[in-house]
């Protein structure tokens, strides 16, 4: 049985992006733009910016929910965030991240979780991490159920502990071979797209001729078919450090703190609200109102 996401209407004159759109961009050599979003305002911003793909990543655990790592976020939390993004998104392809523990145990559980992301949150596709035997089996099952899957190799945050922490992968011949084996296995299993995260540019470049799936890079150099960054990272929406591959295009955290501090100062010194922020009432209506007030002894 095929599970389909709700039909999307064109936004800002754009034809909605599909898997076929992305495959066409790959063939033409046109770079694909992907970004994360976790709420309705973020979706609207991505929509208006004209990006191609929006991922509701499990990075939401840390960026918007305050968890120490990605493994803490639940399916229900991810569904809530993804549904909010869906309501603001019409043009870009929407991909939902299957959180840790929601697909590993069996094909049946994986398919059920993926269906929830499509049926309840309106995803066009789902993403899962790693390319080992179990993940490959889950991909096959989800794809067989009619749900498109994006894979993820290299640095996979859900298994960062096993990988020795949040650090680049594929920097030895053995590690690079593992990345290659996983990417090719996921491709063979039916992934329409695969994320390459934090691997050497030279390794990604060597792999690209073998990749029929659309490859989205994050810290994998410029040879991939497209790039993805976490919205909060590229816009400087947090005060923490950043990974080597992150380029900041704005500093919204500083701007937000500055704006809030100015607001607080004006409230405290009485300059806000000013006359221009207040509503008026006709003099006769005010007089009638005052006359009706009970007298104060």
Catalytic residues: 197
- Residue 153: name the closest of 173, 131, 170 by CA: 131
User: Which of 187, 169, 192, 224 has the alpha carbon at shortest distance from 95?
Assistant: 192
Write out the DSSP string of 119-183: HTT--SEEE----SHHHHHHHHHHHHTT--EEEEEES-GGGTTTTTSS-----SHHHHHHHHHHH
Half-sphere exposure (CA, 13 Å, Cβ side) for 119? 10
Strand partners, 228: 34
Q: Name the helix (H) or strand (E) containing 114.
A: helix 107-119
CA–CA separation, 97 and 150 (whole Å): 9
């Amino acid at each position: 049985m095929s599970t389909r996401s709700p039909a999307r209407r064109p936004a800002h004159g754009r034809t909605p992006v599909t898997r076929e759109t992305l495959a066409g961009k790959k063939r033409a050599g046109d770079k694909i733009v992907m970004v994360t979003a976790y709420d309705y305002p973020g979706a609207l911003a991505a929509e208006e910016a004209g990006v191609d793909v929006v991922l509701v990543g499990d990075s939401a655990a840390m960026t918007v929910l305050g968890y120490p790592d990605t493994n803490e976020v639940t399916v229900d939390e991810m569904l809530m965030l993804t549904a909010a993004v869906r309501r603001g998104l019409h043009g870009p392809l929407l991909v939902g991240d299957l959180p840790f523990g929601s697909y590993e145990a069996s094909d049946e559980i994986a398919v059920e979780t993926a269906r929830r992301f499509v049926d309840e949150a309106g995803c066009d596709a789902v993403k899962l991490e790693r390319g080992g035997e179990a993940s490959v089996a889950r991909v096959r099952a989800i794809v067989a159920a009619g749900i498109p899957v994006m894979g993820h190799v290299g640095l996979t945050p859900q298994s960062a502990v096993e990988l020795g922490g949040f650090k680049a992968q594929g920097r030895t011949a053995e590690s690079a071979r593992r990345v290659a084996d996983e990417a090719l296995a996921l491709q063979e299993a039916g992934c329409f797209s695969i994320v390459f995260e934090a691997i050497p540019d030279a390794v990604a470049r060597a792999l690209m001729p073998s990749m029929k799936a659309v490859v989205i890079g994050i810290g994998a150099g410029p040879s991939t078919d497209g790039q993805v960054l976490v919205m909060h990272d590229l816009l400087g929406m947090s005060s923490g450090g950043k990974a080597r591959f992150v380029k900041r295009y704005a500093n919204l955290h500083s701007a937000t703190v500055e704006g809030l501090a100015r607001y607080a100062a004006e409230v405290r010194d009485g300059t806000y609200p000013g006359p221009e922020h207040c509503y008026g009432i006709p003099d006769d209506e005010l007089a009638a109102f005052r006359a009706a007030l009970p007298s104060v002894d």
